[in-house]
A and B are shown apart, each in its own frame.
Chain A
Amino acid sequence: MTVEHVNGDQFPSGLRVLAVDDDPTCLLLLETLLRRCQYHVTTTSQAITALKLLRENKNKFDLVISDVHMPDMDGFKLLELVGLEMDLPVIMLSGNGDPKLVMKGITHGACDYLLKPVRIEELKNIWQHVVRRKKIDAKDQNNSDNQDKPHNGSGQAEGMGNSDQNGKLNKKRKDQNEDEDDEDDEDDHNHEDPTTQKKPRVVWSVELHRKFVAAVNQLGIDKAVPKKILDLMNVEKLTRENVASHLQKYRLYLKRISCVANQQANMVAALGSSDPSYLRMSSVNGLGNYHTVGGPGQFQNSTFRSFPASGMLGRLNAPAGLGMHGLPSSGMIPMRHAQNSDNTTNDQGKFHPALLPGSHSGNILQGMPTSLELDQLQLNKNITSISELPNTKDNTTFHVSSGFPDARIGFGRSTNPLLDVNNNPLFLEGHPQEAHSNKMFGNQSLMSLNSGSSSRLPDHGRCNDNWSSAVQSSGIQPNSFSLGGDYKQPTLHPGHLRDNLSTMALPIGNSPCDVSSLHPLSNRFQDPKADLQFQAVQDAPCRSNVMFSPLNSAVSINGDVGPLGQCLDTNKTFFHRSNEFDSLGQSNFVDHFSMKINEVQRSSMQASSNLKEGYLMGQQKTQGSYISTSVDSLEDLFMSSMVKEVRSYNLAFSSCQNAFINSFYTTLTIIVKNLLNLFNCLLLWFRTKRRKFSI
């Protein structure tokens, strides 16, 4: 509008300026000066009047010049409001040239900061701000259109970054203007171009702003990310970048307001909405901790310890400190959800939905570090398998049910575990006893898992099937799952199985999952197999890598990414695994392993269900008990039971429900992952922004 007009022959004359200053002398002077520059001037001595004028017709003015010191409203506040609502360039005017004030002006978004007495030379160049901004907006629009999608993921951070950069550029501009006025403006504005996302200027009408605020309040000020706000607002031709920069301004505005007592409630309210996610996180962490704390703790701890060393675990869950934690939490969740279902799948399924929606489809694996995905897959698998299993029991494992959010968080965490999945194998290795062996085992499983990310889920299902069947069968077979590497004892001992499982779970490091699985197992102890299964199951989610790894790894290690089903089918894989184990010293295990696989499966199914139940609740206790069992035996049992469970689990899982549950979980997982990512990005941005404005 004005651009075209201004770009005509009369450019830069005809620029419509609104001048605000409570000092009549200065106002008259300013008006005269502006008229001398052939601008159209409207003056008012009150900020409120100025806002009213601006709101009446957004397109009535091109530029606002405002004094800083005004009785009815602070100049900076006016600056913010104008920037938020009308997105017009605002020039600050003051008799005080203190750099701090100038900085403040820039942080509030002023285009320029002039000192009194105003010189006509300075005013002659203010049109540059208008043109520049229009140009930048136009470019931003184009860029944003092109880059909107790619930026979606990192967009928030980018948007924030851009805003920050804009702010920085403005600051630069202001400081330079202190001494040099015009020339610097152009330079500074030039900086702005490449860094900012150019968008066409969006006029934030009152309605638009109202929608924006409603969206922000709905999401919660901390969780409000441009993409979501944009979606909520549902306004055409509004880009994420528009929203991002507006959001930045709005945050500034809120900051100011937050100093006012009556505004604090809003902030609190806004912030409060974002708390739950944090709470969940913490709760999840708690879960994770639970795992580690639990019985297998010892076992796990050792493994965990090994992990941290590997560094992966640590990554898994900060709270847990060990990847395991994260996994367990996630695993816990699934387990919990499954609760009673003897089918670990049930538990896992539930968990998965939250966590693994993505994983189910293998997204998790794909989206996240493979290890993470694997975990997720496993989790998903576990979950699905769990879900499939009717939960009759305990819901101890079901703490998680409450933890869907936990699951979510756990998910995030589990994602870590996934990352650490790789570690998990290590984790397994971490098993005090056989760090190496475990590792190898675990690694392979992980690797296989990773590769088999997508296939994992199906495997998981299968595993679930296997597990359930295993559960049914009595055989405990806790094949010495000792991931620890004592795979030598293929026989699954029910008790051992549990122990093994728990230990397995622990070392497996899928962490939370495993741990939880271990615990529940111990609790449930109803079936040694169950324990195994439980563990297996639990592992599945988290450790699914691990748990499954016995089965899967057997499969996958060989490079069969294929789902557990493969395990079932291919004893060879197990054998391979055993080979690997051999390296671990588990040659015996393999033999037993294959034999026991069936048993394991059955028992695992049971165990998983049991695990689930007891998992959550008794994790701690069971873990303790687990720990007490000899690691070796546990490991062996565990492994064997795992294998069996996995197989049975797979079988069970592969039943019809798999598809549905998996997809469901996958979707959920994806969603959770995205949410977590968004959240993290937002946090980072927010912190950056705070740092920035606290200057």
Chain B
Amino acid sequence: MAEHASIPLTIEFTGGLELLFSNQRKHQVELPSSNRSPNVADLITYLCDKLMKDPRKDMFVLDGTVRPGILVLINDADWELEGQETYQLQPRDEIVFVSTLHGG
């Protein structure tokens, strides 16, 4: 549980999502944690509000959740195995967002 003021995380965007984040695939993020442990939902909010330079929020988030077609990996495992948005982030976790929404 986070006793840090913020949690250091490595975030990666692939599959075209990097275009929304200054064309940068990897980002080192310090997620502010206030007084409780932030979870992935908090992370996503933070990414949308603070990190996303592109105005097209709905390419990433839709109806309060990650857009269908975007896969989320927490430490290289499917986030559905870790509790999806409720997973509580640990320092130095690696979160990867992979979009599948493009031609093959």
| Genuine A/B complex | no
Residues on B facing A (Cβ under 8 Å): none
Residues on A facing B (Cβ under 8 Å): none
